[in-house]
Chain A
Amino acid sequence: MSAVSELIERITSSDDTVRHQPFDAWTAATDFDTWVEAATALDRFRRGAGSLYERVRALAFLTALHRFHIGMRAGGTSLIPYRAVEHIRGRRFEAAIEALLAAQQEHGPSPALSSALAVAYRGLAFHTLAGQVRRSVRDFPGNQWMFRAGHEDDYPLRIHPALIADPFPVLHEVTPVRMDLSHSAWSDIFFLAMDYPEGARVCNISVDLAIRGSGQAPRPPVEAFLRIIDEPVIRLVSVDLEARASITMLEEIFDFARDYLGLLKAALIASGLIPAGLEGSGRPLTGILRRLTGRDGLGIELVSQVNDIPKGSRLAVSTNLLACLIAACMRATRQLPSLEGVLTESGRRWVAARAIYGEWLGGSGGGWQDSGGLWPGIKVIHAESAAPGSPEFGISRGCLLPRHQLLGADQVPAQARRDLERSLVLVHGGMSQDVGPILEMCTERYLLRGSSEWTARQEAIRLFDELVAKLRLGEIRAVGALTSANFHGPIRAIIPWAGNAYTDSLIQACQERFGEQFWGFWMLGGMSGGGMGFLFDPAIREQALDGMARILSSTKQRMENFVPFAIEPVVYDFAVNEDGSRAELHAGDAALLSPSYYLLCAPEGLRDARGLTPARRRELARFTGAYPSYAGALIDRLTPRDAAAVADSSGELRDLLVRHGFDPAEHERIRADYRAGRIGLARNQLPPATSIEDVRAKEVPAYSTRHEASGRRSLSGGQLAVVSLAGGAGSRWTTGAGVVKALNPFHRFGDRFRNFIEIHLARTSAARIPHVVTTSYLTHDAVARFAEGKELHVSEGRSIGLRLIPTVADLRYLWEVLPQQQLDEQKQKVRDSGRASLIKWVEQAGEAGDYTDNLPRQCLHPVGHWYEVPNLLRNGLLHRLLTAQPEIDYLLVHNIDTLGASPDPAVLGAHIASGAVMTVEVIRRQYDDHGGGLARVNGRLRLVEGLCLPNEEIEFGLSFYNAATYWISIDPMLAVFGLRRADLGNPDLVQAAVRRTSRRIPSYMTIKDVKKRWGRGQEDIFPVAQFERLWGDMTAIEEVSCQYIEVSRQRGQQLKDVAQLDAWVRDGSAQAVALCLAESVSRC
């Protein structure tokens, strides 16, 4: 059998030993020509494959072949045809693949083409998988009718008659959340469970919670209330998010991101109360409500309440809240057999299937174990193989929904449950994280059967069996050892970023503090840092609870500048819930919702008591009668909130602005220009008559060692200093969380996590090269603290801007004119709805107004990295450095996230030999390289920013992308500023020189995302406008002679997004950094 046939056999074989053979072993045993041949064969195969999973695995193989093999070895230089880019943007993956394969056929394989093919194949794989989950959800018996009801006359549901009485009774559903005891090694992700059902098993416990110290006993963390109201509307209320709406039109229910009520809307639709088929009918709700309630003038109210559980708990709070709301709606419409009490097994399965659908509607989705709170107590959940009759049969190996096997008291004795409760300390570590990239990484790795990941997965399955056995025996200490082994072993082997420096610190602190009485660590959910479990000897339970709170708090305090936290860490009290979801009907005088609901909703009614309906009036009277102690709180709510907190916040902002040299006159000028439309996204562009061409053949020399010897001499003569630009907030790295990216410990090398500065510092300290890190208002204090005791100079940023609320025109230009990656259907719908809300926000807040409604640090912005080099002059650091080491002639300036940038003697030698003022490193463009490149602009070779290109097609026609690594000859560059070394000691001269030069550099308006945190770990992302000047534009200045050198991708790639980490590890870049670190340690 040929190697290519053997690869396809791994997809089609019914023999597990063949199917599970690792893809990487095959690539290691084959050569480039075989890979190209295999890619052609796999593409042909996947087009004809009937089974979904054969198709998807072929796509996964094709993605990996192009991304990590063909693309890394191909010698061609052909660029990506822009029509392929447009197809990928529009999610027309098949068309993109056609265009790319045609280009490959014509020009031969190239890294650029392979990078785009990898993106298109990957996109198609996930699109196919998502489509299958969507189809399975729609075809699930009991769900199909919702998509058929296309008109209110088709509406088939009727409200339960018990809900129509005077006063209207309140249906109250309470649901525990689920705690994942075993960690499933992500095996419950729908795609994965449907691919390998034999390996998809989870042990999951339904729990009640209370925040420790709140004085409350554990109770079900999520609640839903449903009742009939005497208004023909659907009233939605989220008590914990303090949001409410009275909806009169059907379309509003399908508008998820319009407000904070998306989850309630998803529940209305997923429960069938508003069938999905009605979307787009544009009708008022009155017809549906008449059919539902059997009368005119009645409506329903649906209320959600999360009891003090912060977001990111890893306890699937939102999925269980969704399930709780759906259960209430289904009970009320008689889709479930019982109005009250616990659910039946078939009822739980119906609700779980609807919750999956609801998650898809909201554009989210985890694994199938998440709705585990519907079931009681402790249970093992396992995937089911697709059998004849199931919608998945013949399409995938596993079913969408798993089976739940309850472990009752006969299987896990009561004593074991009590021991577990007494041993486990459940916490929310406070970190803010996006688990999405981890789930995608995991899916790809499993589909490829990567050898180390597959071995780890088998180990996780073995640990699972052992863990369940120990649980049955009540050996909690052994359970702790196994959850720890699972975390430190398989979980981190599969996804290294499941752990992080924060978690490591916590575990270490527990080990140091509690020694043998610390029994183990337990990771919850997709990654650690949020919800986590720590198991202790029950004998020290109280000390462990107190100690854990202190450890969490002090560790967070130490790390909060460089690890994104959403909330203060909390410790929970918890209890196993033996009911699962259950409901009660409150009737007569007891027909009331929670006190928190009345504190939120009653004040508005009381302010305008004439507007109250008689029923509402009577209800408020019942509430005050039933809860007299809440009268004070209600009156407090009636009066406006204290404005002191707001005043404090604006005072701090003013202080920060003054301290960092904010120029209010310049700010007002920018604002006036922005408001008048003289500057803005569309105005960033170069004039229309500008000629922009790609570089000519051989104009950019490739990296060579020709001048290495002279570079080495220069290095050993101490002529080089390194400048790492670290003023940025890493907007994309933490989606606007505002932490110091340079200090973010992002990857574990050997036994500990390292941050970006450490990696660069390891190189310079080993070579005794002076190293400067530039900072901004956001990063200075933390970087300065980090630099203490290290051979590191800190150049303090001296420039600051105040963010502006963007203009509607700019937002529309960004979202509607500039090319955008389309998302899958439902996610795109949610995104569009969210964007419509943001435009409303801009209109209300005022275009081009100061953005001040956030933490002060989040309202400011660094003004672009152009200033970071001049800041070396302004703050005197360069002067001091040159005074101390006058032999320094060159600077290597690089972005902190360009991890391959090193003081390479070959490049330094080439720079010296060229005699240029500046040498710029560039890399061959691949698909993900957006943001400009190297171009011949009006005849001059220079770097050009993506912001100022008239269209994206030009950008994709540029062969080289800026690696943002610059080699600068100091004296000639000072001359460009009109300075000499001797002038550096004169602050006035320097200031004037910087100001003069800055006027020659264009300012760009950009829109950045900024997070606003509120409530209990909730986060909103707002687009804000800011201006910046970029160092790359120095290449446009005539007297700055420049040389460009092509370097390898490993050297030139910047890490901008956490989702890049997986590829960064798999393409060998991480290994190169690890080697460098090891060498530097051995040299030291």
Chain B
Amino acid sequence: MKFPAVITAGAPGQQHILQQTLVTHENRRTSIFEFLAGMLEGVSDRIALIIPAGARDLFTPLIRPVSSDVTLIEQPEPRGYGHALYQAREFTAGQPFLHMVGDHFYLANEGPSSALVQTLVEIHERHKCSVTAVQPTRESLLPYFGAIGGPAIATDGPVKLYQVDTVLEKPTPTQAECELYSPGLRRGHYLCFFGIHLLSPAVMDFFDEHAQRGGRIPSLSEALQAAAQRERVIAALLPGQRFDIGSKYGLLQAQLALGLNGPDRAEILSLLLEQAVR
């Protein structure tokens, strides 16, 4: 089964992030968007890219090299992350859909990055519910992420699974300590969003309920929290790393991680050492 995929890039200037290129092991320059689209190969045959209103021309060159069917959807005004995602309601057409944030880069601990998405899909197919990828994150980074709490339910191969009871958007450590319980984590670490989700239609329905009432469209964390009250939501601790390209040195970190993960590891390390002692 293939899923529609939604990548959000609605924030002003986000085309610059998606345009950033990284050098692969094969010495090929690939844009972030190409990487993201590549991760979806095999599990998704159509991608919606949510972009700012009037930015179609900026993004069109970006999608050209990608073989998948990419639809650009404009967000009429910048009204938040949930609102951006909600723009893909018709695109997802009541089906479960994959969602990735457009300012992150992902690496699997082993194998290609697409294995991460593949794992998520397999979990979804086994458990028939929304699955959100999470990563243990130090509490000092809580201001940047949504975070979940809930009991561990199983280990699916190398992947630990948790039932999602609570979802908080960028919680303070005080809130996190009181409300986000998950076993097996080091003290001061919480399960924060990895940036990849496979969501049931209930999430879109939740957005829609608010849109119909003319209210604010909630954040994805709020939508997931609501979904977790109505149906099962699972968090999967994927064996990989995420990099926030939008943050200071985020791109550099991603490039370093990508390089160190391949055959040029020794060369990069010696270059770094050389720079450090200079």
Chain A residues close to B by CB (< 8 Å): 141-145, 148-149, 153-158, 272, 330, 333-335, 346, 350
Contacts and interface: CB of A to CB of B under 8 A. Distances in A.
B177 A144 contact: yes
B210 interface: no
B273 interface: no
Contact of B172 (A143, A149, A153, A335): A335
Contact of B140 (A154, A334, A350): A154
Contacts of B94: none
B172 A334 contact: yes
B72 to A, nearest CB: 30
12 contacts: A141-B177, A141-B178, A142-B175, A144-B187, A153-B140, A156-B142, A156-B143, A157-B172, A157-B173, A335-B172, A335-B174, A350-B174
A145 B173 CA distance: 7
A155 B172 CA distance: 11
A486 to B, nearest CB: 37
B139 interface: yes
Interface in B165-188: 172-178, 187-188
A158 B188 contact: no
Contacts of A145: 139, 173-174, 176-177, 188
A141 B177 CA distance: 6
Interface of B: 138-143, 172-178, 187-188
Contacts of A157: 143, 172-173
A330 B174 contact: yes
Contacts of A334: 172
A353 to B, nearest CB: 10
User: Which of the listed residues B138, B173, B174, B187 has the most CB atoms from chain A within 10 Å of its own CB?
Assistant: B174
Q: Which of B172, B175, B178 has the most CB of A within 10 A?
A: B172
B175 A335 contact: yes
Given A144-B187, A156-B139, A158-B143, 17 more contacts: A141-B178, A144-B177, A145-B177, A148-B187, A148-B188, A149-B139, A149-B140, A154-B140, A156-B142, A156-B173, A157-B172, A330-B174, A333-B172, A335-B172, A346-B178, A350-B174, A350-B178
A60 to B, nearest CB: 34
B121 to A, nearest CB: 33
Contacts of B177: 141-145
Nearest to A354: B174
A999 B38 CA distance: 101
Contacts of B187: 144, 148
Contacts of A141: 177-178
B138 to A, nearest CB: 7
A154 B138 contact: yes
A334 B178 CA distance: 14
Contacts of B138: 154
Contacts of A158: 143
Contacts of A335: 172, 174-175
Given A144-B187, A145-B188, A148-B187, A155 B174 contact: no
Contacts of A350: 174, 178
Interface centre among B143, B173, B177 (most CB of A within 10 A): B173
B175 A155 contact: no
Nearest to A146: B173
A155 B178 CA distance: 18
B76 to A, nearest CB: 23
A911 to B, nearest CB: 72
Contacts of A333: 172
Contacts of B174: 142-143, 145, 272, 330, 335, 350
A70 B240 CA distance: 69
A346 B174 CA distance: 12
A421 to B, nearest CB: 37
A153 B139 CA distance: 11
A144 B141 CA distance: 16
Contacts of A156: 139-143, 172-173
A334 B139 CA distance: 15
Contacts of B141: 156
A272 B173 contact: yes
Contacts of B140: 149, 153-156
Contacts of B142: 156
Interface centre among A143, A145, A157, A333 (most CB of B within 10 A): A145
A148 B140 CA distance: 10
**A-B CB proximity, top 10 nearest:** A145-B173, A335-B174, A154-B140, A156-B140, A142-B174, A335-B172, A142-B178, A141-B178, A158-B143, A148-B188
B248 to A, nearest CB: 12
A347 to B, nearest CB: 10
Among A142, A144, A156, chain B packs the most CB atoms within 10 A around the CB of A156
Residue from A142, A143, A350 having most chain B Cβ neighbours under 10 A: A142
A919 to B, nearest CB: 69
Nearest to A153: B140
Contacts of B175: 142, 335
A154 B138 CA distance: 8
A350 B175 CA distance: 10
Contacts of A330: 174
B189 to A, nearest CB: 10
A863 B21 CA distance: 86
Contacts of A144: 177, 187
Nearest to B187: A148
A346 B143 CA distance: 21
A270 to B, nearest CB: 12
A330 B178 CA distance: 15
A149 B177 CA distance: 14
A154 B187 CA distance: 13
A149 B173 CA distance: 10
Contacts of B139: 145, 148-149, 154, 156
A350 B177 CA distance: 11
A143 B188 CA distance: 11
A358 to B, nearest CB: 15
A824 B128 CA distance: 58
Nearest to A350: B174
B79 to A, nearest CB: 16
A158 B140 CA distance: 10
Contacts of A148: 139, 187-188
A142 B173 CA distance: 7
A115 to B, nearest CB: 45
Nearest to A152: B140
Contacts of A143: 174, 177
A143 B139 CA distance: 13
A154 B178 CA distance: 19
A142 B180 CA distance: 11
A142 B181 CA distance: 12
B96 to A, nearest CB: 32
A969 to B, nearest CB: 75
Nearest to B144: A158
A1061 to B, nearest CB: 43
Nearest to B176: A145
Nearest to B138: A154
Nearest to B175: A335
Contacts of A155: 140
| Most chain A CB inside 10 Å of its own CB: which residue of B141, B142, B177 | B177
A233 B188 CA distance: 28
Contacts of B173: 145, 156-157, 272
Nearest to A155: B140
A965 B177 CA distance: 63
A826 B31 CA distance: 56
A334 B188 CA distance: 18
A143 B174 CA distance: 7
Nearest to A337: B175
Nearest to B173: A145
A149 B188 CA distance: 9
Contacts of A149: 139-140
Contacts of A272: 173-174
Contacts of A346: 178
B103 to A, nearest CB: 18
A156 B172 CA distance: 7
